[in-house]
Structure 1
Amino acid sequence: MDNSTFETKSVITGPMHASLKHDSAHKHVTGQAEYIDDIPEPAGTLHGGLGLSDRAHAEIVSIDLDAVRAAPGVVHVLTAADIPGFNDVASTGQRDEPLLATDLVQFHGQPIFAVIAETRDQARRAARLAKIEYRDLPHWTDIDGARQNGAPLVVEPMVLTRGEPQTEIEKPPLRIQASMTIGGQEHLYLESHIAMAIPGEDDDITVWSSTQHPSEVQHMVAHVLGIANHAVTVQIRRMGGGFGGKETQGNQFAALAAVAAKKLDRAVKFRPDRDEDMAMTGKRHDFRVEYDVAFDEDGRIHALDATYAARCGFSADLSGPVTDRALFHADSSYFYPHVQVRSQPLKTHTVSNTAFRGFGGPQGMLGAERIIEEIAYALGKDPLEIRKLNFYGQPGSGRTTTPYHQEVEDNIIARVVEELEASSDYQARRQAIIDFNANSPVIRKGIALTPVKFGISFTMTAYNQAGALVHLYQDGSIHLNHGGTEMGQGLYTKVAQVVADTFQVDIDRVKITATTTGKVPNTSATAASSGTDLNGMAALDAARQLKERLVDFACRQWKVERKEVEFLPNCIRIGEDIVPFDTLVRAAYYDRVHLSAAGFYKTPDIHWDRKAGRGRPFFYYAYGAACSEVSIDTLTGEYMVDRTDILHDVGKSLNPAIDIGQIEGGFVQGMGWLTTEELWWDDKGRLRTHAPSTYKIPLASDRPKIFNVRLAEWSENPAATIGRSKAVGEPPFMLAISVLEAISMAVASVADYAVCPRLDAPATPERVLMAVERLKAM
């Protein structure tokens, strides 16, 4: 495995852009990393168990909880009547997501009551003793069912239009109308949802929550308790994975723990088991992409009309911005002269789907790549040829305007693809594969090279802000706090690098502290790949303020000009003197210099008018490309990924080691979404893939046998980001589209590449086998 060459050091001077190890890496592998369930529980801590609906859609006729209350160890049974504030934890403010159901349940697994007992086992056992009578109502769990039953939309749809697609789509000589079904995905983080609440005096309450959005948990807890935000403190040091699943879904567990803690005046912890977690928390949205594309004999797209329908679940959650972002990436890396794309966010009787790495972008981009594939097979050409023909152009080419009317000014996709095409030896390998397939009766191979262009920023403009707090102590140690959360992605390490680099001190001087709403208020979620962009700049602002104060002090004390003060490794040159960093800080303290600073940052030059479908929602784009080769067994549908080469753009990397890890992890997770991870509900609306035993994520043995990952080291973000770096959390996920496209080529070989196989995702072995048999029969 070629992961580039880099040296990892635990202590280094001037650490920005260096390959430092993740601050908790050694703790993760030794088991020393402390998660919420590892925190010593206060004396008398109680535990919660959940009473869940066993109907997909029904009226609650009666509830008998006597046996639950009488069960061993039960202290209290929470119902909606115990909620002092609002019985709602909807992240959108639409009040469509009750904390505890009252007279109506809308998905199988919806919480109706909660048992508070002396032990977790007692609470869970007691919850099963409830006697609930229902009156069943019609239910539907997928896009087809929603459409057949005239289901409402959970949010207002969005339409993006540019040019004259209605008339121009009739003009080119060639046209394809088809659809693609794209499955959802379970987050399957290693640490399930968990929350612990400890009551304080008056209205005060402290909540430890496994959340990507501490401020939202703060708001939700205050909302259900009917108290002010300032009375709620939310803390989180790290999560055992998040991937978007802990952006809104943790609200219910934190709110339940808080209500119980305040009512009983004892600490309360909620930790669902894996089956409950998977049944009652949202997933990646399923999509149906219906496209009508017109193109010429060369394969150049002239017009596109497409609908992106999504299975959203019973409430809005984040379905609005997720389906919006799908449209923002319906162009992938391609210029459409005339285009109209629309979303259709449909209500279903399933748990509400939510954020997942890429936030709708992967579904939008996958639809675009399927369109390219359709054109290539229709014309008998290499899909890469069609891709390059339709790429966005450079400024002045007339091919730079997106469907949402933002200009693509930083386009490097052609260079990235060209370099990867050469370094992966794509053309020679493709010809070798075609030759191999011609003489192989059972095993067939495929290869594909696919691009990524991903917009970076929250599409809700207000979320593009961050705060940070930096303290200098007398001994020269530095205390850092910001609003970002750590879920394994290395955010804390990167932001600490920024602060250490600003002062030119060793990284071990910087203390990384748990995220808490009591230090940095009104934080945005750690999501949209913007964690480092936002929090790194906020921390830089705070550090620069302190640096300026130290420089001012040095000038006064040493009677020198500012140009005579220079920060060097762990010391400062002041005139002719070299002063250790800690000595200067201590001297500044005795001179009553303020050694604490709050930093702030807001992303510039972005704006968005959703109703008009126009604006500049993204600060910049991240680019990448992947070339994957696969082998399939045409008798069983089984396959393996033989080799993947990746060239990815992270700008000027803040930490190449961490960035490469994110690229590898994102690719493998994306590969799972497109190949093995299949969600399935039965005819009663029950999720049957509700544990690792029935839901298959990729194993270490499933990764590409040869896995070459390189950074585009020549890239430097033209936008004024921290260190000219680029986001790396979400963009690599979509590199895995190359695997699905390669499988598609292998399948197409059984019909001499004359027909697009139209594989739906995930391309499980069963789907691959059925596609092979379908093409054989043609």
Structure 2
Amino acid sequence: MSVGKNIPHDSSRGHVTGGSVFIDDRGLTQKEVFVLPIGVPAAAGTLMAIDASKALECPGVLAAFTAKDFHHNHWGTIIPEQPILVQDKIGYYDEPAVILVGTSMDALFRAKPFVKMEIEKAPAILSIDEAIAKNSFIYKANAFRVGDADSALSQAKHKLSGAFECGGQEHFYMESQACVVYPMEDGQVEVHSSSQHPSETQHVVAEALGLHLHEVVCVVKRMGGGFGGKESQAAPFAAMAALVAQKMQRPARLCLTKDDDMVMTGKRHPFKNFYEVGFDDDGRILALKAQLYADGGAYADLSSSILDRAMFHIDGAYYLANAHIEGFACRTNFHSNTAFRGFGGPQGTMTIESIIEDIAAYLKKDAYEIRQLNCYGKEKNNVTHYGQKLDHNPLPELFARLKNDSAYDSRRKEIDQFNLNHQSTGKLKGLSVTATKFGIAFTARFLNQGNALVNVHKDGTVQVSTGATEMGQGINTKIQQIVAHAFGINPQDVKVMATSTEKNHNTSPTAASSGSDINGAAALKACVELQYRIAWLFHHIIMGTTMNDIAECPPLEKDKLKLEEYLFENGQVTHLPSKKSLPFADLVKRAYLNRMSLGEYAHFKTEGLGFDKARSMGTPFNYFTNGVALSEVQIDIWTGEYKVLRTDILMDLGRPLNPGIDKGQVTGAFVQGMGWVTSEKLYYNKDGRLLSHSPTTYKIPNVQDTPRVFNVEFIENHENTQNVHRSKAVGEPPFLLGISVWTALKDALRYKAPNTVDIKSPATPEEVLMELSSYE
């Protein structure tokens, strides 16, 4: 049995010893050159001319290329409107406009100041409010409607309205955008990229160079982190390197510095959401009207889908009988914002969690009571505002069990008592529970497909290739376990190969938390076909009708075989009725001698999905991953600084494929989510230039920021029959639980606030101190 066990990450030893190979670890080849993109020093306007002549005179500089050198200069996952290099119209500050090529990065950095650009500047849109005022939108979503929000709102006894704001977030992956491109025979190119979406990288490179798709191969061994930032935006950098490789017929390496990566690439979308909420004396939500505004940046990228998911998740874990939700993606002059872990879900969920805190403050109640009252039910109040029913909903159980296990009631009393003395202690404490109900599937239905190639070798070892990409999240290890479990062999006898578009074509990105789901299911499907062949051979060995010079195993007839009678376990295959066993490796060798195929390709698509965008109703998700988190914080009222004293997380992950890896995903996602809502603030100057573009100016959480006490538990759930081995996706859902730190800060500030607490996210110590100061 391999599934459900804590086997080590397949690259753990390599990561620790330094043996793991990332893009810039690849050895230099003969005549290889280096590529440096250079951005424009303006956020808006027209690029009139580029003069790289002085730079080309610098030692070690070989060439410069601009937009006109591409066969096709535009790309875009949904709308192909973004230039690979600026040709005329400028979208954002530091947008790439020219690439220098040289024999070393040092030579290119020395030459960079000599590249001159003539620019005719124009006014830039640098806020959501300004975009709204100027009607500058990339996308307007169809509204989500359920019940009669206007009528219910007008009749509600209590109403609150306001605007919730949350900022962007830098992906801060350890490995910046990186690729190496090799020119091959007959005009082909081979791209090695740090990309979550090899197929899109292949497509963008082919279009940019004027090639057909079969002339480009994209290979992804692993990434040093991705978090969504390499889903779409790895592709244009690969196209830049590919242009150099094609034009110069030399291998080309493009590996951005952290500073260049941060100023050139998109972030999590900032949102500003306006709302009106009506509720009764108990705090039951009767109606919600909301308008969500996402800052898409200069180009469309994935903004429309991200906005849609925010609208899907505006309910959080709470039933909305009457709702009217509108959404708008704003076009501004910031870097084109893109996918980021949660993909709009956090921005929607955080809005409703903030509203619930405000309802509790308004009614002078405990926010936990408001959450429990509004939580989705099991038999009733279990249909979302877009018409999807919550099957086997564990949310009530999660809330109740977390409250009991964390000693919520006694801690609430202790904190209330502690806060009465805040003037003498200089401290305030807060306690808050938030939830995640994260829909699993791509909201674009066609992306919910994957394929796998499983090759069994004569010694009984296996190589597996899928469209999934490994970015540290352990997807290769999970697929390794699925395949090992299917054949009943040691996981060490299974190798998951580098992802390559020549083996797995037209793949979906490793995103939407569905990488293990669709690729693992495809791998299992391929394994089942191979199980049939091996069992069929075993059947004929038992019958004595094969394995001699005359008789050969006849073609497979599935209707004559009961696969459930054959047990693949502990390196053996056992025919249960006869109790006869043979080693798996022995059967494999015999299958080869019988000229039976020991390789299988399988395609998988997620069934049961269907969402009508015109009506904004349907089933966009395969299932939901659920969880709750309780966080306790302590604030210094004189400085605004705070600590996370304790966090308790309880999650439903079905039957985890690898509990250890899943626990790592939960804790990592929580800390990253906590960073988004607390310390990770993006600072720009008045011209739209990013100032916080390095580890010295951008604050991600460190070990001192993590909860002093950190408890993570999973509930037992065998009900998720929709997914491989009844597991549930884990990549994005726990990110939303980091919101509990922010709501705990709101809860602490209630003791000083005259009414509701109005803080933005991220709630930096400066933001908290300014809020405290406003109460004096």
TM range (shorter): over 0.9
Deviations 1:563-594 (A, max 9, x none): 76432310122545432111110011000010
SS of the residue corresponding to residue 526 of structure 1 reads coil
The 2-side partners of 1:564 and 1:313 are apart by: 58
Task: Tell me, in whole angstroms, the C-alpha distance in 2 between the residues paired with 1:329 and 1:585.
Answer: 48
> Could you say which residue in structure 2 is the equivalent of 1:720?
722
Alignment of 1:282-301 (within 5 A): 282-301=266-285
TM-score normalised per structure 1? 0.96
2:474 paired with 1:490: yes
On the 8 A contact 1:244/1:354 being kept in 2, the answer is yes
Q: Which residue of 1 aligns with 2:397?
A: 415
How far apart in 1 are the matches of 2:567 and 2:638?
Answer: 70
Residues 281 and 352, structure 1, Cα contact 8 Å, conserved in 2 = yes
Residues 312-331 of structure 1 aligned to structure 2 (within 5 Å): 312-331=296-315
Deviation at 1:660, TM superposition (A): 0.4
- 1:535-569, CA deviations, whole angstroms, 9 ceiling, x for partnerless residues? 11000001111110001111123217757643231
8 A contact 2:357–2:746 mirrored in 1: no
One of 94, 99, 121 as aligned partner of 1:136: 121
The answer for the alignment partner of 1:8 in structure 2 is none
Q: Measure the CA separation in 1 of the matches of 2:188 and 2:421.
A: 73
Instruction: Report the counterpart of residue 90 of structure 1 in structure 2.
Output: 76
Query: Would the aligned equivalents of 2:436 and 2:627 in 1 still touch at CA under 8 Å?
Result: yes
Encode CA deviations 1:657-699: one digit per residue, 9 max, x unaligned: 0000000000000000000000111101100111111000000
For residues 469 and 361 of structure 2, the distance between their equivalents in structure 1, rounded to whole angstroms, comes to 45
CA displacement, residues 350-408 of structure 1 (integer Å, 9 cap, x when unaligned): 1100000000000000001011111111111000100111111223x2x1221211122
Deviates more, 1:578-587 or 1:211-220: 578-587
Alignment correspondent of 2:411: 429
Aligned counterpart, 1:605: 608
| Counterpart residue number, 2:646 | 643
Q: 1:313-462 counterparts in 2 under 5 A?
A: 313-395=297-379, 397=380, 399-441=381-423, 442-462=426-446
**Number of the residue aligned with 2:734:** 732
Q: Which residue of 2 aligns with 1:155?
A: 139
Equivalent pair of 2:720/2:727 in contact (CA under 8 Å):
no
* Distance (Å, rounded) in 1 between the aligned partners of 2:48 and 2:489: 66
Q: Which of 611, 622, 625 is 1:622 aligned to?
A: 625
Looking at structure 2, the residues matched to 91 and 564 of structure 1 have their Cα atoms a distance apart, in angstroms, of 47
SS of residue matched to 1:402? coil
Task: Determine the C-alpha separation between the residues in 1 that align with 2:44 and 2:696.
Answer: 27
1:580 corresponding residue in structure 2: 583
Q: Which residue matches 2:537?
A: 553
> Residues 208-219 of structure 1 correspond to what in structure 2 (within 5 A)?
208-219=192-203
8 Å CA contact 2:452, 2:519 repeated in 1:
yes
Return the offset for 1:493.
0.2
Q: Is the CA contact 2:622–2:722 (under 8 Å) kept in the aligned structure 1?
A: no
Q: 1:90 to 1:576 in 2, by over 3 A?
A: closer
Distance 1:440 1:321 in 2: 45
Report the residue type matching 1:162 in the other structure.
Answer: V
Q: Which amino acid aligns with 2:641?
A: E
Q: Which amino acid aligns with 2:418?
A: F
Q: CA deviation at 1:19?
A: 1.0
Tell me what 1:3 maps to: none
Percentage identity across paired residues of the two chains: 40
Tell me which of 220, 227, 251 is aligned to 1:267.
251
Q: Equivalent residue for 1:661?
A: 664
Deviation track 1:573-623 (CA, whole Å, cap 9, x = no partner) reads 254543211111001100001000001111110011222211100010111
Matched, 1:761 2:761: yes
Partners of 1:169 and 1:303 within 8 A in 2: yes
Distance 1:639 1:451 in 2: 22
The answer to whether the 8 Å contact 2:75/2:204 transfers is yes
Q: Which moved more, 1:28-37 or 1:616-625?
A: 28-37
Letter of the structure 2 residue corresponding to residue 715 of structure 1: N
Structure 2 contact 479–496 (Cα < 8 Å) conserved: no
- 1:122 aligns with 107
Q: Is the 8 A contact 1:169 1:304 kept in 2?
A: yes
Q: What is the one-letter code of the residue matched to 2:729?
A: A
Unmatched segments (≥5 aa) in structure 1: 1-13
The answer to whether the Cα contact below 8 Å between 1:717 and 1:726 also exists between their aligned partners in 2 is no
- Residues in 1 aligned to 2:132 and 2:566: alpha-carbon distance in whole angstroms: 69
Residues 50 and 124, structure 1, Cα contact 8 Å, conserved in 2: no
d(CA) in 2 for partners of 1:67, 1:47: 18
Shift of 1:61: 2.3
Alpha-carbon distance in 1 for matches of 2:614, 2:105:
48
Q: Shift in Å at residue 123 of structure 1? A: 2.2
Q: Do 1:280 and 1:351's aligned partners in 2 also have CA atoms closer than 8 Å?
A: yes
Give the 3-state SS of the residue equivalent to 1:59 in structure 2.
strand
Show the counterpart of 2:678.
Answer: 675
In 2, are the aligned partners of 1:472 and 1:595 still within 8 Å (CA)?
A: yes
**Cα distance per residue 1:612-657 (max 9 Å; x no partner):** 2111000101110011111000000000000011111111111100
Seen in structure 2, the aligned counterparts of structure 1 residues 231 and 433 have a Cα distance that, compared at 3 Å, is same
Alpha-carbon distance in 2 for matches of 1:401, 1:293: 19
Q: Which segments of 5 or more consecutive residues in structure 2 lack a partner in the other structure?
A: 545-560
TM-score with structure 2 length normalisation? 0.96
Does the CA-based 8 Å contact 2:56-2:62 persist in structure 1? yes
Question: Paired residue for 2:9, among 22, 37, 41?
Answer: 22
SS in 2 for 1:170: helix
**Aligned residues of 1:114 and 1:127 also touching (Cα < 8 A):** no
**In structure 2, C-alpha distance between the alignment counterparts of 1:559 and 1:413, rounded to whole Å:** 53
Per-residue deviation, 1:285: 0.3
TM-superposed CA distance for 1:151, in Å, is 4.0
After superposition, the C-alpha distances for 1:43-77 in whole angstroms (9 at most, x for unaligned) are 11000011210000011222222112222112211
Paired residues of 1:106 and 1:314 also in contact (CA < 8 A): yes
Give the paired residue count.
755
Deviations 1:749-773 (A, max 9, x none): 124xx52212210000011011112
Q: Give per-residue Cα distances to partners, 1:294-341, cap 9 Å, x unaligned.
A: 111111111110011111100000000001000000000111111011
Structure 2 distance, partners of 1:528, 1:680, is 28
- Say whether residues 1:468 and 2:452 are aligned partners: yes
Partner residue in 2 for 1:745: 747
Q: Kindly tell me: are residues 661 and 44 of structure 1, through their superposed partners in 2, closer, same or farther at Cα, counting changes over 3 Å? A: same
SS in 2 for 1:709: strand
1:103 to 81, 88, 109: 88
**In the TM superposition, what whole-angstrom CA distance separates every residue of 1:711-744 from its partner, at most 9, and x where no partner exists?**
11x2124332111010000000011111111111
Give the one of 230, 234, 247 matched to 1:246. Answer: 230
How big is each residue's C-alpha offset from its partner over 1:464-512, in whole Å with a ceiling of 9 and x where there is no partner? 0000000010011101110000000000000110000001100011012
Would you say 1:47 and 2:48 are equivalent positions? no
Deviates more, 1:529-538 or 1:716-725: 716-725
Shift of 1:418: 0.5
2:615 and 2:235 mapped to 1: Cα distance?
Answer: 32
Residue number in structure 2 paired with 1:703: 706
- Please give the alpha-carbon distance, in whole angstroms, between the structure 1 residues aligned to 2:516 and 2:173: 21
